């Protein structure tokens, strides 16, 4: 785990300590061009405040929207985003890419758990 992910998890824990609902989004798969590697994380609280990154800004809005729904009780889910090679080439990019992000609610620790 790199320092960035540690700070994301620390922020998620701090929000939970404040009594806020929290979701965690994690990059679980990539293909081709992807701004963030597998394991990159984004923590989101019920107010829409976030820390970290799963895409360098390209898909964060959709991930945050899903995270807010999940904090409110929707089931955890996988989100898939992508750009085909043909679409990438048409705008001058060297290749397309795909990213899959898993978004889940972070459940509060029960008494006696760390």
Across the 114 residues of the chain, what is the mean pLDDT of every consecutive 10-residue run? 75 96 95 84 96 84 96 97 63 69 88 57
Residue 18's pLDDT is what?
95
Rounded-to-integer distance, Cα 60 and Cα 89, Å: 23
Residue 101's pLDDT is what?
95
Reported residue count of the chain is 114
Residue identified by tokens 């923590």 is 43
Rounded-to-integer distance, Cα 41 and Cα 10, Å: 12
Residue 47's pLDDT is what?
97
Return the percent helix, strand and coil in the chain, to nearest 5.
30, 30, 40
Contact (Cβ atoms closer than 8 angstroms) between residue 37 and residue 56:
no
* Number of Cβ within a 10 Å radius of residue 65: 14
């Amino acid at each position: 785990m790199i320092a960035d992910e540690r700070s994301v998890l620390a922020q998620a824990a701090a929000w939970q300590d404040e009594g806020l609902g929290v979701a965690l989004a994690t990059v679980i798969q990539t293909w081709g061009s992807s701004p963030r590697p597998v394991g990159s994380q984004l923590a989101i609280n019920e107010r829409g405040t976030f820390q970290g990154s799963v895409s360098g800004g390209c898909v964060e809005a959709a991930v945050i929207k899903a995270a807010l729904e999940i904090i409110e009780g929707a089931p955890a889910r996988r989100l898939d985003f992508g750009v085909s090679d043909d679409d990438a080439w048409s705008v001058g990019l060297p290749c397309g890419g795909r990213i899959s992000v898993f978004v889940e609610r972070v459940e509060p620790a029960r008494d006696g758990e760390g």
